[in-house]
Structure 1
Amino acid sequence: MTPAELSASLLAIVQGVADRRAEAADGPEASDSARPRVEVTEADVALERPKNRDHGDWASNVAMKFAKRLGTNPRELAADIAADLAEVDGIATVDVAGPGFINITLDAAAAGALAKSIVEQGDAYGRGSYYEGVTIDLEFVSANPTGPIHIGGVRWAAMGDSLARIFQAVGGLVTREYYFNDHGGQIDRFARSLLASALGEPAPEDGYGGVYIAEIAARVLETYDGDIRDLPRDEAQELFRAEGVEFMFTDIKRSLHEFGVDFDVYFHENSLHESKAVERAIARLSELGHIYEADGATWLRTTEFGDDRDRVIIKSDGEAAYIAGDLAYYLDKRERGFERNIILLGADHHGYVGRLMAMTAAFGDEPGVNLEIIIGQLVNLVRGGEPVRMSKRNGTVVSMEDLVEAVGVDAGRYALVRYSADSMIDIDLDLLTKRSNDNPVFYVQYAHARTRAVGRNAEAAGVDRSVFDASLLTHPTEAALLGALSELPRVVQQAAELREPHRVARYVEEVAGTYHRWYDACRVTPLGDEEVTDVHRTRLWLNDAAGQVIRNGLGLLGVSAPERM
């Protein structure tokens, strides 16, 4: 019996008990239309794994949720539900504990059936429908095209792509979007820095340094058929702006691709100003009555929506303020049909959240639903116990290329995604290169490789999956492994709901540990001249189910599941 099957049985039973109690309270002569029905949903009958496995395989607090609405006490309602559950095939015992918890123990065959179900479902196991059909625009990284992606942006690349995979696993229609900041002062400084490098001049005081600037400048020079010194300064700077930004952004996209991250949309900030999108956004807000003029500037009345002060949209000199682009960009996303717009931002943007939520409300949308901001904290790299602060190529901060060169893509992605976004993390580069159980990504990948080795050894010994008898999976480590494997659908949904990919990483570590303990206790291949039995064949199903779950979990994090290590 799978968790989904048990949940469906519990849902039907709770609804039946609720209907019977409502009928008994109103009398059989009352009409259905006159009797308000207590509706029970799938979310109401969520199952949890008891911390103490002596309390059963599954537990539910549904009786405590509905007792008051049904005019009874939780233990009495739980007893009614338990009596009906005990009649379901595959359930060994049902107990009522404490104030009304329902503890459910499956019989061995019903519990073990999950192994076969996982293997048969394959890559689909763990997927759900929590966001079925919901359109989601997930914007992340969006680093300025003025230099390589620094380690904070790398964290967003790992987390954002993992979150996109998780949303898709629960039915979300996800668009990965990169906001390309190609408008404003930072691009001017970048162009001046490139030109200075090409001319052999010192970098501008407010410009950019590092070897990469000289490399990009040299590439721009290769595209120009002539002597750059013959061009007027403003024309030369425009050349370096156009070509240099394109080269830099090409490098950024290549780095992201090599890190396993590709975007569906690269949205150019400059297009908002060229297409009059800013003017359209202001016109929409004006129609809604939220725009006013004062001191020669155009203002958005954001204090009506919780902001600490109103915001200037068009400055008195006629130039658009930064928030003007945000207004136009948000409206553009909504007009493209995205119900949920989620943006991952660094800790330095924390003070910007309030005005973005006020902007959302000003458009008549719901802050936190139509627009959601996830703020992440800093990443520190450590090697030999000392912080790593400088990049050899960038000259200022550690970049994506530096991390990948040091530990590889898998270890880099896994290390960055196994912590909550709101926690500051220290990444130990020495640890991530170790082939030991202390290295979490090695520990999980090795567990998967071990499941594949067991499969190869089983084939050589003549053990196949021609027989599956779930009642033979009776060892305590088998019950523990089945219990861990059953949790994947719940973990994936919770990771999507809470925007916490790290839950998947911690989960596959738990599965890996449970699998290793089972491996030490139970053999899939016979010893010596022992005969191949149905126990061996059935255990092969469980072994392959464990490998499938680890593989599915790692896939949600964009991390490979190696066949051999």
Structure 2
Amino acid sequence: MNPADLAVLVRKVTVDVLASHDADVSLVPEAPTVERPRNPEHGDYATNIAMQLGKRVGMVPRNLATEIAEGLSNSEGVDVAEVAGPGFINIRLAADAQGKIVAEVLAAGQAWGNSDINADLDVNLEFVSANPTGPIHLGGTRWAAVGDALGRVLTATGAKVTREYYFNDHGRQIDRFSNSLVAAAKGLPTPEDGYGGEYIHDIAAEVLKGNPAALQGTDEQVQENFRAAGVEMMFAHIKESLHEFGTDFDVFFHENSLFASGEVESAVNSLKENGKLYEHDGAWWLKSTDYGDDKDRVVIKSDGDAAYIAGDIAYVKNKFDRGHNLAIYMLGADHHGYIARLRAAAAALGYNADGVEVLIGQMVNLLRDGKAVRMSKRAGTVVTLDDLVEAIGVDAARYALIRSSVDSSLDIDLQLWASQSSDNPVYYVQYGHARLCSIGRRAAEAGVSSEGADFGLLVEDREGELIRTIGEFPAIVKAAAELREPHRIARYAEQLAGVFHRFYDACQILPKSGEEATDLHRARLGLAEATRQTLANALGLVGVTAPERM
């Protein structure tokens, strides 16, 4: 019996108890809180349902708890339920009920932890979306890892997910990029507002190699020669870096297509027609304050040019018109203002503003010897995705970026994450998986199998702790999806690895040389196999490999 199943039982028993008192059963939550107590001696799980409901239904919480505990104690799968303090209920599962978790994991395999709770979601998940004017910096790298992991988690909970990269190929930054390429090709200094770094000189040389006449013609023709070829080369590098990082996209959406196709003009006209835009001082403004924004936004400037938000409005419309019912934007730390304006754009267009979610990621800093790493030879003053991978590898980079909430800034100690020690979180988890694989290989060599094992024999404290930790995995995945927090998966994997290592030290899994395998050995082997499967599934959800040997 896993925590989700126990929560269902707690709810049923609570409803039955309240019904016997003619109390309002609608007050019982759909998913009562069921947690592991801090002190294992108090039981396997605990619930505060009686304290939540007692006064609301006119009963003394402890008295209500006593009746619920009695009902739970008489239920299949529960050994005993006892009341503690003012109304907490501590629950100890029957051994065979705990053992069923192991069997459930082994039967589910790679699907263990999956659900269909988000089957009604068609998600457009937009992340990274770095300008094609240079290699991906650390902020974009964080989103490359976290966004990909979030996509995996949402998919595991039944959602249809489209991973999308918004290619900013319209605007002044592209002009600055092409001007920098032209200057490099001519051997001139980088323009004052241009882009520096070796990559600019490399791309400029590649453009000339492919088109020796690229510097001939008018200034406009020369700039276009370098713009078209340079952007294509830069974006090819970005795609290659992301792919090698384990992050791939379903859609690469070009911002310029919104203007070329007339979608921006169409979206603006529809807002004019429905009265959501108004004219003032020669400009057209969105009534975004009607939808919670702190000020109205200029959409068409007084000179007739579209403001940046015009493209955002058309892009919101495009996403929903493609059939998505949830658009998640993963943006950088300087984009807080976008939360209200994007939701306002959706509402003004007639869509549900709650269908727009904006996640803001904070800065990432690299440390070596306790000091910040600030320079990248290739990109000038920016540290890039490629720099991070070169320093610590793909798995460590992804895990380091994913395991902390994006709401907080992140310091990555390069020496720690490159080390092969238990202090390195990803090494610790991967080593746990490799050790479990080794147990499987040795079991096969010894002819020991868990098939038909009696998992009700697993009654030792370390066995129970490991089983309960495994049983929590579906709830962890559900919470990670609902809260958009894939870091919960990584932290759980570390917890599971730690619980397994303690179990391994305390319990003999395989028979010693010369001994016959017992039913307990077979049961413990099954528990080890369930642990390995859960660790592999957790690592898979964050896009990190689960090595069989280390």
TM-score by length of 1: 0.93
Conserved? CA contact 2:27–2:53, under 8 Å: no
Match of 2:101 in 1: 114
Aligned residue for 2:545, secondary structure, equals coil
For each residue in 1:455-510, what CA deviation from the matched residue of structure 2 results, as whole angstroms up to 9, or x when unmatched? 11122222211331123212211111112111111111111122211111111101
CA shift for structure 1 position 552: 0.7
- Distance in 2 (CA, whole Å) between partners of 1:445 and 1:531 is 31
Cα 1:12–1:313 shift into 2, 3 Å:
same
1:215 deviates by 1.5
* 1:493-534 deviation digits (Å, cap 9, x = unpaired): 111122211111111101111101111111122123222111
Q: Quick check: 463-472 or 312-321, which moved more?
A: 463-472
Corresponding residue for residue 540 of structure 1? 525
The structure 1 residue matched to 2:190, chosen from 191, 200, 203, is 203
Residue in structure 1 matched with residue 9 of structure 2 by the alignment: 9
Using the aligned pairs only, state the percent identity.
55
Moved more, 458-467 or 88-97: 458-467
Deviations 1:430-476 (A, max 9, x none): 11111100111000000000000111112222221133112321221
Q: Deviations over 1:296-318 (max 9, x none)?
A: 11111222233232211111111
Q: Deviations 1:256-311 (Å, cap 9, x if unpaired)?
A: 01000011111111111112212222233234322111111111122223323221
Q: Distance in 2 between matches of 1:423 and 1:8?
A: 35
The equivalent residue for 1:521 is: 506
Q: Relative to structure 1, is the Cα distance of residues 21 and 364 closer, same or farther in structure 2, using a 3 angstrom cutoff? A: farther
**Cα shift at 1:366:** 4.7
The letter of the residue matching 1:198 is: A
Q: Residue 236 of structure 1 aligns with which residue?
A: 222
Deviation at 1:109, TM superposition (A): 2.0
Alpha-carbon displacement from aligned partner over 1:103-129 (angstroms, at most 9, x marks no partner):
211122221221121111111111123
* CA distance in 2: counterparts of 1:404 and 1:386, whole angstroms: 19
> Is 2:49 the partner of 1:62?
yes
In 2, are the aligned partners of 1:195 and 1:217 still within 8 Å (CA)? yes
Q: Name the count of aligned residue pairs.
A: 550
Shift of 1:401: 0.7
Partner of 1:407: 392
Match of 1:427 among 412, 419, 442: 412
Distance 2:203 2:120 in 1: 43
Residue 37 of structure 1: CA displacement?
Answer: 6.4
Return the alpha-carbon distance in structure 1 between the equivalents of residues 241 and 398 of structure 2.
Answer: 13
Q: 2: CA distance between counterparts of 1:470 and 1:555?
A: 26
Equivalent-residue separation in structure 2 for 1:114 and 1:229 (angstroms): 69
Q: In structure 2, what is the equivalent of residue 76 of structure 1?
A: 63
Equivalent of residue 84 in structure 2, options 97, 101, 107: 97
Is this contact kept in 2: 1:19–1:38, CA < 8 A? Answer: no
Distance in 1 (CA, whole Å) between partners of 2:59 and 2:176 is: 71
CA distance in 1, matches of 2:222, 2:284: 35
Unaligned runs of 5+ in 1: 26-35
Distance verdict in 2 for CA 1:386–1:39, change over 3 Å: closer
- In structure 2, the CA distance between the partners of 1:289 and 1:535, relative to structure 1 (3 Å rule), is same
Moved more, 275-284 or 70-79: 70-79
1:230-269 matches, within 5 Å, as 230-269=216-255
Which whole-Å deviations, capped at 9, do the CAs of 1:179-216 have from their partners, x for residues lacking one? Answer: 11000000011111112222222222211111111221
> C-alpha displacement at 1:7, in angstroms?
3.1
Q: 1:38 aligns with which of 23, 26, 29?
A: 26
8 Å CA contact retained: 2:150, 2:481: yes
Q: In the alignment, residue 542 of structure 2 is paired with which amino acid?
A: L
Find the aligned partners of 1:352 and 1:38 in 2 and give their Cα distance: 39
Q: Indicate conservation of the 8 Å contact 2:4/2:475, yes or no.
A: no
8 Å contact 1:414–1:557 — kept in the other structure?
Answer: yes
RMSD over aligned CA atoms reads 1.8
Is contact 2:214-2:226 (8 Å) kept? no
Matched, 1:395 2:383: no
1:441 pairs with 404, 413, 426, which one?
426
Aligned with 1:320 (options 306, 322, 334): 306
1:356 aligns with 2:323: no
Residue 368 of structure 2 is aligned to residue 383 of structure 1: yes
Q: Which of 463, 466, 470 is the aligned partner of 1:478?
A: 463
Matched residues in 1 for 2:437 and 2:489: separation? 21
Structure 1 residue 57: Cα displacement: 1.2
Report the Cα offset of residue 332 of structure 1: 1.2
Query: What is the alpha-carbon distance in structure 1 between the residues aligned to residue 216 and residue 266 of structure 2?
Result: 42
C-alpha separation between the residues in 2 aligned to 1:38 and 1:185?
Answer: 58
Change (3 A) 1:13 1:265: same
- Partners of 1:288 and 1:98 lie apart in 2 by 60
Question: Out of 462, 481, 487, which is 2:447 matched to?
Answer: 462
Distance 1:202 1:75 in 2: 78
**Aligned-partner residue type, residue 262 of structure 1:** D
**Conservation of the 8 A alpha-carbon contact between 2:316 and 2:342:** no
Query: Which range is displaced more, 425-434 or 9-18?
Result: 9-18
Q: TM-score, normalised by structure 2?
A: 0.96
Unpaired segments ≥5 residues, structure 2: none
Looking at structure 1, the residues matched to 221 and 273 of structure 2 have their Cα atoms a distance apart, in angstroms, of: 41
Deviations 1:382-439 (A, max 9, x none): 1122211111111121111111111110000000111110111110111111110011
Partner residue in 2 for 1:276:
262
Matched, 1:416 2:401: yes
Among 130, 147, 150, the residue aligned to 1:160: 147
User: Structure 1 residue 365: deviation in Å?
Assistant: 4.4
Question: Is 1:185 aligned with 2:165?
Answer: no
Counterparts of 2:267 and 2:188 in 1: how far apart (Å)?
42
Q: What CA distance in whole angstroms lies between the structure 1 residues aligned with 2:26 and 2:341?
A: 41
Summarize the Cα distance change of 1:99–1:288 in structure 2 as closer, same or farther, 3 Å threshold: farther
Q: C-alpha distance in 2, partners of 1:8/1:350?
A: 39
The Cα of 1:69 is off from its aligned counterpart by 5.1
Question: Helix, strand or coil: the match of 2:357?
Answer: strand
Q: SS at the partner of 1:230?
A: coil
For the 8 Å contact 2:138–2:364, the answer to whether it is kept is yes
1:224-274 residue CA offsets vs partner (Å, 9 max, x unmatched):
2x5333322211211111111111111101110100001111111111111
Q: Secondary structure at the match of 1:381?
A: strand
Contact preservation (8 Å) 2:17, 2:67: yes
